[in-house]
Amino acid sequence: MLSQVILKIKRKENSFYSFLYDLGKFVLSFNVPSIKPIHLPLYHLDHLVKEGLRWFISVFWAVPLFKARCEKVGRNLRLPNGIPYIVGSHLKIILGDNVIIGRSTIGASKVFDEPILRIGNNSSLGYGTTVSVAKEVIIGDNCMIAPGCIIMDSDDHPIDPQKRLLGMPVEKEEVRPVKIGNNVWIGANCVVLKGVTIGNNSIISAHSVITRDVMENSIYAGNPARPVSRDIGKTL
């Protein structure tokens, strides 16, 4: 019955339903007027309370719990968005000093017994990044991984359709570790595929797909990514 009345209102079937439609639209779009001397201090108070609560939860809950899950953690770990989502209890996570991990997904496949994720000193994983580890993913020192990236050392599923139907993992020989060097900047929404090594000081432009090794001191862009600048220490 109610759904029929709502439908009549949406159709504006007569003047009464048209009135109800306009009234509903007015109510839904209504805004309380903003009085800056009153609402601006309240805005800052709201921000302060939320940031303080986020800090408290991170320091006294998220960081200690996540440290307990890791194999080794250096100093000053920061988890600004809470505990990353971890898939696979057999995954070994080794972190250096001053690592920052946003709300990320870190998963391990069932191919190898002890897959390893290593993140070096002063490196960060952006919000929404996914790291899939079958054997080993290494991220060096001073790396910036922007939001929404995907890093994986396998295809995650077999190429053979019958094996996929059976839910089988990829073969061990199909796994190829990923190594990201030092001082690498990977832009937003990039994909780094299996077997890739990214050289020191290189930059990967946003939305690029890395299918092959990246030379040091270079800028790569595109799908598949190609070098657009080399020896950036001289060109920048």
Distance between CA 193 and CA 138 in Å, rounded? Answer: 13
Distance between CA 206 and CA 106 in Å, rounded? Answer: 21
Q: Give the pLDDT confidence score for residue 28 in this predicted structure.
A: 87
Q: Give the pLDDT confidence score for residue 164 in this predicted structure.
A: 87
Q: Which residue has the tokens 């017994």?
A: 113
Q: Give the pLDDT confidence score for residue 234 in this predicted structure.
A: 56
pLDDT category, 57, cuts 50, 70, 90? very high
Q: What is the pLDDT of residues 195-232, one digit of tens each?
A: 999 999 999 999 999 999 999 999 999 999 999 987 77
Distance between CA 112 and CA 61 in Å, rounded? Answer: 31
Q: Give the pLDDT confidence score for residue 51 in this predicted structure.
A: 94
State the catalytic residue, choosing from 39, 44, 90, 157.
157
Q: What are the residue ranges of helices labelled H in 132-171?
A: 161-165
Residue 235, pLDDT > 70, answer no
Q: Quote the radius of gyration of the chain (alpha carbons, Å).
A: 25
* Known active-site residue 44: no
Which residues are CB-neighbours of 179 under 8 A, at least 6 positions away?
Answer: 138, 140, 196, 197, 198
Going along the chain from its start, the domains and CATH numbers come out as 70-235 (2.160.10.10)
Q: Which of 215, 210, 143 is nearest to 178 (CA)?
A: 210
Q: How many CB atoms lie within 10 A of CB 133?
A: 28
Q: Give the pLDDT confidence score for residue 168 in this predicted structure.
A: 87
Q: What is the pLDDT of residues 121-174, one digit of tens each?
A: 999 999 999 999 999 999 999 999 999 999 999 998 888 898 888 888 888 899
Q: What is the pLDDT of residues 64-115, one digit of tens each?
A: 999 999 999 999 999 999 999 999 889 999 999 999 999 999 999 888 999 9
